[in-house]
Structure 1
């Protein structure tokens, strides 16, 4: 396929450009259907006049339906999207980007999805779908899956389906306590949703994400909490996001003294309560209940899911401390920025 694509690039470059544009339109409709033409044009950064012609073509090919409620993809269109996926990754250079990212970050496996989730909200759904696919590939026997909170993990939950695995083989546990954010993005809520969508089971961890040393000693010895913490340590799979340092510190309502430490330490990234500078050094750590960074090397499969050009520094910083079993799932926006500063 690669040789054919190279020939097309040289002899018929316009055809590849048109194919990419129509693929992007189809893909965007499939993520947010039903959608109006004006909204789709804004989402794609395309004029309504240009989009109108493309939409008519796709309709005539029976790839989309147009109704008063908006445009939606047909069964034929969905099938074509699936068939085109590997070819479009080759055409767009994503496969090559993945290889470069592996070398730059010292990873054995990287997944890059098209787009930039900072600018295109639907890309986060694609990150979720890519993560769900990779998790399914490593499931074996009974599985305990530990999950952190955040909107990206919520997107992973949305991508899970009832045919994910035998229900009795899945147990979802929160990797740590809540962070005081929207309930829908807390680890407990996400675990419950994952269990509901797959038919699996879940456990809850009703503790704050950040506690004082005194409270920590008291809470971790509570029988119900101790039981869940034991399950978390036994997880074969961990799903987690990577945050920007200052954003995460603000979400935690970090005190003035600790915030100053994070700023003075030039922290750019955060994961599991650890704040990293660009060299990957830990400049601050909060006392959290749940999975710790030192636990990760003992986990069989660790999936780090984060996208958006703005998170490039955070992702790169965390990868200096990542365990060997880490698989990074990110988007083009973040990937290009990471490679640009490598």
Structure 2
């Protein structure tokens, strides 16, 4: 039997196209408000004439307000967006794409949010929101959550809200990160996550890359080994997936090693491991904290990465990821991954 949406797709495809367009305009205004018309037109790839018509309609329906500072979504507009999100996922075929992507990558589940993080900055917020919602729905009782650094994890932290009464969380950095931009260090992100969820956190004072001698010296400190034990005991790990060369440059990797990565066709990075398109490890840095092999013993592994430009990095890492992995990504990356 056809669903109502299937019938509309066959008999009223233009109606659904208009609905999707207006939804995306309303969602973008909601994420970027207050936003000007010209900026909105450029971001959405629409002419100002077309956008003006749509903005006038949304204003007439009391879904947005227009002021000198820009456009903003009204309370009615916000309520409508909440109700529309699940409907739009079905209309756009995202629900079906999620199953196809999980099957293709051989992982537990894929969660796809609308948009492409390469083109619209608000999509990264949606990745963070989807991650926060999954955490809230999956974790009960006392839980240790390991978190890596990076801009995506920083966005996840912003989207977290206070835990429920039956949730008691402890955030720990999954690996060292001193030396990176402070706001993107795992220690900083754990602190933000704990603050936003009314939880606790621990810190790991260790650089992103260490020598063997430094590591052996550090493990003599009981405080250090205690945090390492907590990290290994995590029931959930949140991590990003990086473009190989971008991550190497962020770590201030020597030009010699960058050349080696390029020669080895490295495309992705996670946990200090660099992968080529076949998923082979072509380089590894000595890091403190979780290693790739540790992930198989962790119940919930959430990999968060979006944007079509990340597709090769995601595909490469997923060839090594544990089967329990849940990938949270966007349409931009998902479409590229499904095309292969």
CA–CA distance in 1 between the matches of 2:322 and 2:173? 19
1:241 maps onto 2:240 in alignment:
yes
Name 1:203's counterpart in structure 2.
Answer: 202
Name 1:142's counterpart in structure 2.
Answer: 142
1:154 maps onto 2:154 in alignment:
yes
Spell out the pairing of 1:285-300 with structure 2 (5 A cutoff): 285-300=284-299
C-alpha contact 1:220 1:226 (8 A) present in aligned 2: yes
CA–CA distance in 1 between the matches of 2:166 and 2:194? 8
CA–CA distance in 1 between the matches of 2:247 and 2:178? 9
Spell out the pairing of 1:56-205 with structure 2 (5 A cutoff): 56-162=56-162, 164-166=163-165, 169-178=168-177, 180-205=179-204
Q: What is the Cα deviation at residue 203 of structure 1?
A: 1.0
C-alpha contact 2:107 2:322 (8 A) present in aligned 1: no
Spell out the pairing of 1:293-332 with structure 2 (5 A cutoff): 293-332=292-331
Q: What is the Cα deviation at residue 40 of structure 1?
A: 1.3
1:37 maps onto 2:23 in alignment:
no
- Note the residue ranges of structure 2 that are not aligned, 5 or more in a row: none
* Regions of 4+ moved over 4 Å: none
Q: What is the Cα deviation at residue 326 of structure 1?
A: 0.7
1:227 maps onto 2:226 in alignment:
yes
CA–CA distance in 1 between the matches of 2:225 and 2:11? 65
CA spacing shift, 1:275–1:22, aligned 2, 3 Å: same
Q: What is the Cα deviation at residue 132 of structure 1?
A: 0.5
Q: Which moved more, 1:66-75 or 1:324-333?
A: 66-75
CA–CA distance in 2 between the matches of 1:301 and 1:149? 18
Spell out the pairing of 1:262-301 with structure 2 (5 A cutoff): 262-301=261-300
C-alpha contact 1:308 1:333 (8 A) present in aligned 2: yes
- Deviation digits for residues 285-306 of structure 1, max 9, x if unmatched? 1000111111111111010000
Name 2:211's counterpart in structure 1.
Answer: 212
| 1:102 alignment partner, SS class | helix
Q: Which moved more, 1:35-44 or 1:113-122?
A: 35-44
C-alpha contact 1:177 1:205 (8 A) present in aligned 2: yes
CA spacing shift, 1:336–1:305, aligned 2, 3 Å: same
CA–CA distance in 1 between the matches of 2:336 and 2:93? 15
Q: What is the Cα deviation at residue 192 of structure 1?
A: 0.7
| 1:142 alignment partner, SS class | strand
CA–CA distance in 1 between the matches of 2:240 and 2:259? 24
CA–CA distance in 2 between the matches of 1:188 and 1:2? 51
Q: What is the Cα deviation at residue 168 of structure 1?
A: 7.4
Q: What is the Cα deviation at residue 25 of structure 1?
A: 0.8
Structure 2 length-normalised TM:
0.96
C-alpha contact 1:63 1:76 (8 A) present in aligned 2: yes
CA–CA distance in 2 between the matches of 1:289 and 1:261? 23
Q: CA RMSD in A?
A: 1.5
Q: What is the Cα deviation at residue 321 of structure 1?
A: 0.9
- Deviation digits for residues 242-283 of structure 1, max 9, x if unmatched? 001111111111124433332232211100001111111111
Q: What is the Cα deviation at residue 14 of structure 1?
A: 1.2
Q: What is the Cα deviation at residue 6 of structure 1?
A: 2.1
CA spacing shift, 1:114–1:76, aligned 2, 3 Å: same
Q: What is the Cα deviation at residue 167 of structure 1?
A: 9.0
- Note the residue ranges of structure 1 that are not aligned, 5 or more in a row: none
Q: What is the Cα deviation at residue 66 of structure 1?
A: 1.9
CA–CA distance in 1 between the matches of 2:36 and 2:44? 12
CA–CA distance in 2 between the matches of 1:188 and 1:326? 23
Name 1:19's counterpart in structure 2.
Answer: 19
Q: What is the Cα deviation at residue 2 of structure 1?
A: 6.0
Name 2:8's counterpart in structure 1.
Answer: 8
Structure 1 length-normalised TM:
0.96
Q: What is the Cα deviation at residue 5 of structure 1?
A: 1.7
Q: What is the Cα deviation at residue 179 of structure 1?
A: 5.5
- Deviation digits for residues 169-192 of structure 1, max 9, x if unmatched? 111111111163321111111111
